[in-house]
Amino acid sequence: MEKRFVHKSGNLIWVNLFVNITLDENGAQQEIIGMAEDISERKRAEIALKESNEKFHQLADNLSDAFWIRSPDLSQVQYISPAFEKIWGRSVDSLYTNPHQWSEFIFPEDRERVLASFATLTDNVSSIDIEYRITRPNGDVRWVNARGFQVRNVEDQLIRHIGIVTDITERKQIDERIELQQSELRNSEEKYRTLIETMPDGFYKSTAKGRFLDVNPAMVKMLGYNSKEELLQIDIPAELYFQEKDRDVKNVNQDSTLKQKYIN
């Protein structure tokens, strides 16, 4: 039996007792012979391990992500956190009973890629990080991010695999919406650009100080330049406007009619 004794110092020690009771001819207890083994270190280790396990479960059992531990060959599930049920929609007991059914939950188009990635963990790859789809019993498809890691002992022997799986469905949906919006924006910009490039009237954008930022072919043709790039170098107030306040009109001084026309 295991008992706690009080040491002279006042500290408690754990003792494992081996007891033999001798009886007299009438069956009464005559004497007790015992051996005592100090198991304090072992008990402290057991208590520490129990506390560690309790802390582990307090953490792992309350994670929103699914935490898992598997055997070195990945054939056995040694632990799976309750979040598995929330993400996969299946009981943890079903996975303990049949660890191989995990692959059946993977979306068919992703299955080969995912299984090939996990297979590398049993080889010389220390970790993996992969995104894939799973199918729930009701037919819903969810996106998950799975990370897996090798665990080795001091002799560098592979002793288990651990990993964590995060439901990233909402993030994927947001990414898809952003991609759709960007695609629609690109299509809109292409339609806008096509309209501007083909319209018969001149179109331009410029800075507030009068530097062209963009012009369409009709604007280039209207002003008599050879290319869009050439026109983009033009200082609008200095080189295009023919008003006294905006530029020196010496180039039109010889033609007073033309000068008066632009001044007015």
**What contacts 117, CB < 8 A, 6 or more positions away?**
128, 130
Whether 250 maps to a domain, the answer reads: yes
Residue 123 sits in the same domain as residue 112: yes
Write down the pLDDT at residue 130: 93
Is there a single domain that holds both residue 150 and residue 224? no
**pLDDT, tens only, 157-170:** 889 999 999 999 99
Model confidence at 251, pLDDT cuts 50, 70, 90, reads: very low
pLDDT in tens, 58-71: 777 777 889 999 99
**Residue of higher predicted confidence among 260 and 105:** 105
* Domain of 193, in residue numbers: 172-198
Residues facing residue 132 across a β-bridge: 144
* Structural domain count, the chain: 4
Report the C-alpha gap between 239 and 65 in whole angstroms.
66
E strand spans, 94-157: 127-135, 141-152
Give how far Cα 249 sits from Cα of 113, 212, 222, 224, 256, Å.
73, 21, 21, 19, 11
d(CA 207, CA 48): 72
Identify whether residues 157 and 221 lie together within a single domain: no
Residues 125 and 42 in one domain: no
For residues 159 and 151, is the Cβ–Cβ distance under 8 A? Answer: yes
Same-domain pairing of 67 and 112: yes
Is the distance from CB of 182 to CB of 202 less than 8 angstroms? no
Of 182, 198, 214, the domain-final residue: 198
CATH of the domain at 160: 3.30.450.20
| Residues 142, 163 within the same domain | yes
Say if residue 92 is in the same domain as residue 30: no
pTM of the model as a whole: 0.55
